[in-house]
Structure 1
């Protein structure tokens, strides 16, 4: 989507690009993974700039289709004194929502089934109806059946759903196809009413997820394997956040990149914390490449 964020200390707005899965794709590409982003843009100048932005970051655009009748979605970021962000969205008729209408979408899904890792989020599910979500679930099933990973961040945004029950149904239908869950406890609490981290972790494991990495904000993350115990991975260097936009997405990318490179889950969670800790010190979802932690 097109991202609007306030220029620091000025009554001006800057334009960039972002979106939860796109953010993960960009950070994974920066961290050395071969990354393909599957979605749809329009054929307008902003869409052309969006595609150029992604490819300049090293993200492959072979699964990024063009919708001839729709435009990109748009969101604006506002932050409070503690850096906590809120979003205003304009995306009801975005090109991404019309992905399934575009010629070539079925082939894109088929090509994506060959991936080693398929990453998606609750926001992905909120874009489509039940029938198309079933096709996405089949894609996830295919990837996992081939021995690949399906990584999922519940990423609950209430405005994207008719009601919480619809979101719970959609997430539950996907959870059984996932090998790695990367939820945020605040989202789990909002959607399910959880009062303790163990409730969220157990629900994901009960659905069939092997590895659960629960993000708990400034406290870091809790890592739980299906047959093991949960272990907390604190943030090594706490930060006074400037803008928390993209914090969870960058954590996911840092975790997945390290884990796929052979790190243990605990080591990978620490890598996720490091990247997210730097991201919250900058405005917007994507920080300058030179600010990436070593």
Structure 2
């Protein structure tokens, strides 16, 4: 964990929940046994980047309960800086139930997060030196959806990091049920995207947010609003990318023999893109790594269990480089 004087590579914020994953297939009402893990889109990204050796800070609130302590224990195990994680004595840590599917389909998830400690996040949680001392800010559309005050914090983070000349990635990560209306969701997230250097929507999210499911049209929408680069995730077809300098292309997906759990694939993709960009690689190279880590994520049960350590990623990239050279 970074010291009090050591700057971060990446900072992000959001809600973490205890997640109970079914150990047997079938409807959640009939499942008798679960395994406890930690979940949260932004926490998944923080975890993946920390495993690759980046100094990562995660901002949030947890309750003064066993779930909150569990989240703190996970942060410590992953080496994620938790100086800006506060304990709220009034409100609980959220949790969720997740089904187990063996056919590659999306699992059923039930959330118990209303009135959670993290939903009380607000601009009062902002710590300028902590945040602007980082090289990069990652935002998703989940944290701004959990409450109006958390939404205000997202914009405060984006404005301050942009003013400080830091880079920003934004993954829309749509959660329609958390918003009062589709119109509010679209308007808010598209406004938040104007602060980002790199925007990472899925093609179905692009349809909701821009009105088009054409990857090039989605990219043009965000490039016209100031993005340096846009990556549109295409699922099994890989990803389309375009930059403000006119570069564009499609990077094929990594082959996957068997999809086990689709949840967390987008977060893994974000880990790959962000890590590569912070290492000075091109957007095309970043997309290739995003595809690779996204593919690893869907081959295991759990939101972050498939995110690789640095040695594993280096070995896979070296293996591909040697194959290309042969």
> For residues 135 and 56 of structure 1, what CA distance do their matches in structure 2 show?
27
Shift of 1:236: 3.2
Moved more, 119-128 or 35-44: 119-128
Moved more, 81-90 or 23-32: 81-90
1:115 pairs with one of 127, 134, 138:
134
Partner of 2:54: 33
Partner of 1:264: 282
Say if 1:220 and 1:239 are closer, same or farther in 2 by CA, change over 3 A: farther
> For residues 289 and 248 of structure 1, what CA distance do their matches in structure 2 show?
11
TM normalised by structure 1 equals 0.91
Partner of 2:87: 66
Say if 1:200 and 1:283 are closer, same or farther in 2 by CA, change over 3 A: same
Partner of 2:105: 83
Residues 178-230 of structure 1: CA distance to partner in whole angstroms, max 9, x if unpaired? 11111111222244442312222111112211111111111111111012142
Shift of 1:84: 2.4
Say if 1:110 and 1:164 are closer, same or farther in 2 by CA, change over 3 A: farther
> For residues 210 and 307 of structure 2, what CA distance do their matches in structure 1 show?
37
TM normalised by structure 2 equals 0.82
**Count of residues in correspondence between the two structures:** 290
Q: Is the 8 A contact 2:19 2:95 kept in 1?
A: yes
1:1-294 → structure 2 map (5 Å cutoff): 1-7=17-23, 11=31, 12-78=33-99, 80=101, 81-100=103-122, 105-106=125-126, 108=127, 111-129=130-148, 133-287=151-305, 293=313, 294=315
SS of alignment partner, residue 121 of structure 2: helix
Give the gaps of 5 or more residues in structure 1. Answer: none
Say if 1:126 and 1:141 are closer, same or farther in 2 by CA, change over 3 A: same
> For residues 307 and 49 of structure 2, what CA distance do their matches in structure 1 show?
12
Say if 1:48 and 1:3 are closer, same or farther in 2 by CA, change over 3 A: same
Q: Is the 8 A contact 1:172 1:207 kept in 2?
A: no
SS of alignment partner, residue 170 of structure 2: strand
Q: Is the 8 A contact 2:47 2:78 kept in 1?
A: yes
Give the gaps of 5 or more residues in structure 2. Answer: 1-16, 316-326
> For residues 152 and 24 of structure 2, what CA distance do their matches in structure 1 show?
43
> For residues 239 and 59 of structure 1, what CA distance do their matches in structure 2 show?
32
> For residues 267 and 205 of structure 1, what CA distance do their matches in structure 2 show?
19
Q: Is the 8 A contact 1:113 1:140 kept in 2?
A: no
Q: Is the 8 A contact 2:146 2:178 kept in 1?
A: yes
> For residues 220 and 108 of structure 2, what CA distance do their matches in structure 1 show?
29
Residues 146-205 of structure 1: CA distance to partner in whole angstroms, max 9, x if unpaired? 221111101111101111100012112212211111111122224444231222211111
Say if 1:248 and 1:97 are closer, same or farther in 2 by CA, change over 3 A: same
CA RMSD between the two structures: 2.1
SS of alignment partner, residue 242 of structure 2: strand
